[in-house]
Structure 1
Amino acid sequence: MSSTTRDLPPLHLLRPEVSDVPPEPGEARLAELYRPTPARHLRVNMVSTVDGGAWGDDGVSGSINDAADWRVFRVLRALADVVLVGAGTARAESYGQLNRPRDLAHLSSAPLELALVTRRGLVPPALLDGDRTPWVVTGEAGAASARAAVGDRAVVVPGDVAHVDLAAGLDVLAAAGLRHVLSEGGPHLLGSLLAADLVDELCVTTTPQLAGVGPGRIVAPVGHGHAPAARLHDATLGHLLASDGGTLVARWEIDRQGS
């Protein structure tokens, strides 16, 4: 049976309704849009092409982001207590010691911490080259390697080479005062966080490019073997920003089923 217009939802043309957020020293307007709640909060930030690619032809996300995405990326880091990243992404994207952007240091006075999720406890050498040791979240299979690399910053939680208890890891980070967590992926870590119902907010930048066949999506299967059945999460659009070049920057609030 065909639908009538009474059965169809209204559509809103968002772009003209979005207030301008021009670049400004200190990014006060953009920081206000993304300021996290006082409570514990896990935000994930990812970038994607129009056809869903999570990286470009060089295998890294830096080839698909742009200046609009970079503005939001910097503000999100400036507002976070800790950046949570998977070991594979840390290696592929050449992560090193993190610092808040100097011009946004007024948004938080504490050092920006880094927490690495690794099932085997292996830490890329670049993360150890600095004056601040990263946190390392791992299971029993990676405990010895993690402790050898970072000492008491090894967060050993239940788990093995297939799965790590991320909820327990986040509890340890929160107890250390790291309550506002920004995860920058990668896709496997995002899949694990969603499967564990831990994501409060998902920020997705869509850049006006097509990746074609090859690159994976921003969410990848969890662990080894068969992926678990999909869990649908409801999401509410917090805001949608658009650049003159066509980039869309969306902030989605996730309905956590366990909260």
Structure 2
Amino acid sequence: MRRLFPVSEPTADDGSGHEWSLDELATAYAYPEPDGRAGAWLRANMVSTLDGAAQHDGRSQPISGAADMRIFGTLRGLADVIVAGAETVRREGYRPARARAEFAARREAARQGPAPVIAVVSASLDLDLTLPLFTSPLVPTLLLTGAAADPARVAAAERAGARVVVAGDGAGVDPARAVSALAGLGHTRLLTEGGPRLLGQFIAAGVLDEMCLTLAPVLTGGAAQRIAGGPPVEVPRRFVLSSLLEEQGFLFSRYRRV
């Protein structure tokens, strides 16, 4: 892996780079000092093809790669909570986050639990509560929903061991309230993995602080979704490039809000 930006000094590297250690990746993707919105920082991690597809055959894995998965694991290892939309949880087959020995000391020093919490955003709470995500997580899964959610489904989720968090006045979830609610639970290092609809809602609400985007050197054609959908913003949100890495043609960019 090579660092393309920022470049502090010339290097004699032949261009092939090296496989970065966990410490190098964790340092490169460390969360900034908290600011605003109760100290929470919301980071998104997404992958896109050269022609803008966020998935192939409905899943992101086919357009990913080994280095992308290392960064994916690193970002999870640094987060307090991983926020995902219900459809993404279903489509990608989400399982409970696991405790990783290589992150244990770093997480303990940051006063984090042994593994990040999974928080599922769902207005309907129409979820398979027999999945391991609910039956055997290391830490209870959170369900973010609206105040108008079906009480029977709320009760069923709580019986299954999930913790239901109301983050909206109606049937849906308000993105800003979701961020505040998670921060109120002590989760300030937030990571969202989408999907596109949820990411679009975070963008439209102006609560996204950072975008980690992998550009995969592949073309898929077709009509696959972009990394973000949903409502447009009135004025495009401006972000600034903070780092750019490369390995085997994959580009790993990190942008922060201005």
Q: Equivalent residue for 1:139?
A: 146
Identity of aligned residues (%): 35
Segments of structure 2 that go 5 or more residues without pairing to the other structure are: 35-39
Q: CA deviation at 1:101?
A: 3.3
Q: Equivalent residue for 2:37?
A: none
Query: Which residue of 136, 150, 160 corresponds with 2:158?
Result: 150
Q: Equivalent residue for 2:244?
A: 240
Query: Which residue of 172, 182, 185 corresponds with 1:176?
Result: 185
Q: Deviations over 1:158-200 (max 9, x none)?
A: 2434x42121122121111111000010000000000111100
Change (3 A) 1:196 1:134: same
Does 2:19 align with 1:23?
A: yes
Tell me if structure 1 keeps the 8 A contact 2:6–2:244.
no
Change (3 A) 1:16 1:189: closer
Distance 1:172 1:31 in 2: 26
Q: CA deviation at 1:98?
A: 1.0
Segments of structure 1 that go 5 or more residues without pairing to the other structure are: 1-13, 222-226
Change (3 A) 1:252 1:228: closer
Q: Equivalent residue for 1:9?
A: none
**Which residue identity is paired with 1:247?**
F
Change (3 A) 1:16 1:228: closer
1:164-243 aligned at under 5 Å gives the runs 164-221=173-230, 227-243=231-247
Distance 2:89 2:192 in 1: 12
Q: CA deviation at 1:148?
A: 2.5
Change (3 A) 1:101 1:230: farther
Q: Flag the structure with more relative contact order, 1 or 2, with Cα contacts below 8 A and sequence separation at least 6.
A: 2
Q: Deviations over 1:124-166 (max 9, x none)?
A: 33221204321111012325223430367211122434x4212
Query: Which residue of 21, 36, 58 corresponds with 2:31?
Result: 36
Tell me if structure 2 keeps the 8 A contact 1:240–1:250.
yes
Query: Which residue of 121, 126, 142 corresponds with 1:122?
Result: 126
Aligned pairs, number = 234
Q: TM-score normalized by structure 1? A: 0.83
Q: Deviations over 1:100-124 (max 9, x none)?
A: 4333333213131111100112333
1:6-85 aligned at under 5 Å gives the runs 14=4, 17=7, 22-25=18-21, 27-39=22-34, 40-56=40-56, 58-85=57-84
Q: CA deviation at 1:16?
A: 10
**Which residue identity is paired with 2:42?**
L
